[in-house]
Amino acid sequence: MRIDQNFYFENDVTYIAKTLLGKTLCTNINGVQTSAYIVETEAYSVKEKGCHAYNYKKTNRTSIMFQKGGIAYIYLCYGIHNLFNVVTNIEGEPEAVLIRAIEPINGVETMEQRRGLKGKALTSGPGKLTSALGIKHNHNGISLLSDNIWIEEGKKIDEIEIVSTTRIGIDYAEEDAFLPWRYYIRGNKYISKL
Q: Residue numbers of the site for DNA (CB under 7 A)?
A: 42, 44, 50-52, 57, 59-62, 65, 73, 75-81, 83, 85, 96, 98, 115, 121, 125-128, 137, 168-170, 172, 192
Q: Which residue number, 7 or 52, has a Cβ lying nearer to DNA?
A: 52
Q: Which residue number, 61 or 189, has a Cβ lying nearer to DNA?
A: 61
CB of 158 to DNA, least distance (A): 26
Task: Show the DSSP H helices in the chain as ranges.
Answer: 13-20, 108-115, 126-133
CB of 31 to DNA, least distance (A): 25
Q: Which residue number, 155 or 174, has a Cβ lying nearer to DNA?
A: 174
CB of 166 to DNA, least distance (A): 12
